[in-house]
Amino acid sequence: MTDTAQNAAHNAAQELAFAFDEQRALATVESLCAPGMSGRSLSSAGHDQAIRFLNETLNATGLTVRQETFPVREVMRLAHQPVCSLNAPRLARALTHRSEFAEHPRSGPMPDPVAGAVAEADAANDGQWAALANVPQGRAFADLADRLAARGVIGILTAQNADGSGYLTKRVQSAATVPLPVVAIRPDLLAAAVGGELTAHVPLLREPATGTNILAALPGTHPAARPVLLTAHYDGVGSDPELHFPCAGDNASGTGVLCEAARVLSQAAPLPRPVHIALLDAEELGTIGSHHHARRVAENGLQPDVLNVDMAGKFNGKIAIELGPADPAPKQLIAALDAAGRQLRLPLYAAPVSSDNRRYAQAGFPAAGIGLGAAHYHSPLDSLERIDTDALGKAGRLLLAAVAHLMHT
């Protein structure tokens, strides 16, 4: 790149980056965290409300918005508040959902309360719950559940540690279900349950749903040039029946950053390359929305450079970047991010960003995941009060400066 081109890229990056308004991004985060959004899980009224809000937000920037829908085989939800009570020598009381017990995503149906004595898994038999302190994964768990069911066991109790927030993390995707009811319990309570009686009713329903990606584009002065694609997922893990999950850091924060970046780009002078915006759905269910979108992009013959923002709610001193695919290396993307980080004096480091960026990398597109962090993701404490406004600004300025540098690579 010539000195003239470098100066042009630097000036364009500076102009775009410092047009980013973190207070506007925060306002978007606040709206997405409202109780009426129901944690933005598919098949909820709050999810539909989030779609309407984001359409209006992008439309207000002057962008023309369209939607692409896709089927989701299964969404888990609680039909009503779960209950679990224990009558054991060391503990006799009702347990508190989410802080002491929680639904297990591989549980079989539990349409009615299930009651019985609790025994260690090796000894459990007819009419008993099997207490499982060490939980095997994948097929091994299914095989164990089959053996327990054959012995007449009525359900499985698994250990799940609380996270730093004191809550049992909400899990919304899993491998195939097993033939027995499964309830997750804090390890100390699981140990206390052995030798006692436990009654549980955790009405976990599984329903098909429709996901919705929200898309917009700026054509650029050379519409046929390879586009830059900016992405973030807006869905959350969903609220419990009596406990709200704002899903602020994961990923209302990334969505707020992307909406504000879209506003800046729509009001700036046209860039040479087209810029596409994708607010993605169903990331929490296994990056289903980005898998669908990446396939559609490839079918349209496009080869975008992809920048995905997931969790921009907390700055821990440096910004994680995951690049892909490994071969060939996304050299232009690396150069653009490196130039943007140096210009803004933001330390970047290579680290996993397990999000939608991986779907685009798997499709063969140069892709980067950008992650700053969140205070307590998949917890009720992932709330607006824990969003670092400065982190939103850093993520937004890095994103826009990288876009500007990509235009000159």
H helices present in 33-137, as ranges: 45-60
Upstream peptide bond of 352 is cis (omega within 30 degrees of 0): no
> Percentages helix, strand, coil for the chain, rounded to the nearest 5?
35, 25, 40
Per-residue pLDDT, averaged over 238-254, amounts to 97
In DSSP notation, 35-46 reads GGGGGG-TTSHH
Pairing outcome for strands 128-132 and 114-120: parallel
**For residue 305, which phi and psi values (nearest 5 degrees)?**
-90, 125
The DSSP code for 243 is B
**For residue 332, which phi and psi values (nearest 5 degrees)?**
-65, -40
In 189-272, DSSP assigns E strands to: 197-201, 204-218, 228-233
User: What percentage of the chain exceeds 90 in pLDDT?
Assistant: 93
E strand or H helix at 2 = none
Q: What is the pLDDT of residues 4-56, one digit of tens each?
A: 778 888 998 999 999 999 999 999 999 999 999 999 999 899 999 999 999 99
Burial class (CB in 10 A: 0-12, 13-18, 19+), 134: exposed
Pairing outcome for strands 348-350 and 128-132: unpaired
Q: Are 341 and 348 in contact, with CB atoms under 8 Å apart? A: yes
Q: Are 64 and 34 in contact, with CB atoms under 8 Å apart? A: no
User: How many angstroms separate the CA atoms of 92 and 359, rounded?
Assistant: 48
Q: Are 206 and 109 in contact, with CB atoms under 8 Å apart? A: no
Q: What is the pLDDT of residues 89-144, one digit of tens each?
A: 999 999 999 999 999 999 999 999 999 999 999 999 999 999 999 999 899 999 99
Helical axes 389-406 vs 253-267, angle rounded to 10°: 50
Question: Residue 71: which of 43, 105, 108, 107 has the closest Cα?
Answer: 43
pLDDT on residue 257: 98
Mean pLDDT over each residue of the chain, to the nearest integer: 96
Helices (runs of H) and strands (runs of E) counted in the chain: 10, 16
User: How many angstroms separate the CA atoms of 169 and 102, rounded?
Assistant: 8
pLDDT on residue 409: 76
Q: Are 68 and 213 in contact, with CB atoms under 8 Å apart? A: yes
Q: Are 248 and 33 in contact, with CB atoms under 8 Å apart? A: yes
Residue 3: pLDDT over 70: no
- What domains can you pick out in the chain, each with its CATH number? 3-76+207-406 (3.40.630.10), 81-202 (3.50.30.30)
252 in helix, strand or coil? helix
Helical axes 253-267 vs 22-32, angle rounded to 10°: 130
267 residue type, one letter: Q
Residue 2: pLDDT over 90: no
User: How many angstroms separate the CA atoms of 396 and 158, rounded?
Assistant: 41
Per-residue pLDDT, averaged over 160-186, amounts to 94
Question: Residue 189: which of 85, 286, 33 has the closest Cα?
Answer: 85
User: How many angstroms separate the CA atoms of 384 and 86, rounded?
Assistant: 35
Q: What is the pLDDT of residues 71-81, one digit of tens each?
A: 999 999 999 99
For residue 123, how many other CB atoms are within 10 A of its CB?
11
**For residue 203, which phi and psi values (nearest 5 degrees)?**
-80, 80
Which residues have C-beta within 8 Å of that of residue 26, sequence separation ≥ 6?
A: 256, 387, 389, 392
pLDDT on residue 335: 97
pLDDT on residue 174: 84
Which residues have C-beta within 8 Å of that of residue 325, sequence separation ≥ 6?
A: 361, 362, 364, 366, 367
8 in helix, strand or coil? helix
User: How many angstroms separate the CA atoms of 212 and 41, rounded?
Assistant: 12
Q: What is the pLDDT of residues 262-297, one digit of tens each?
A: 999 999 999 999 999 999 999 999 999 999 999 999
Per-residue pLDDT, averaged over 205-228, amounts to 96
Residue 387: pLDDT over 90: yes
66 residue type, one letter: R
Question: Residue 77: which of 44, 51, 48, 53 has the closest Cα?
Answer: 44
Per-residue pLDDT, averaged over 341-363, amounts to 98
- Tokens at 196, concatenated: 């006692």
Per-residue pLDDT, averaged over 158-186, amounts to 94
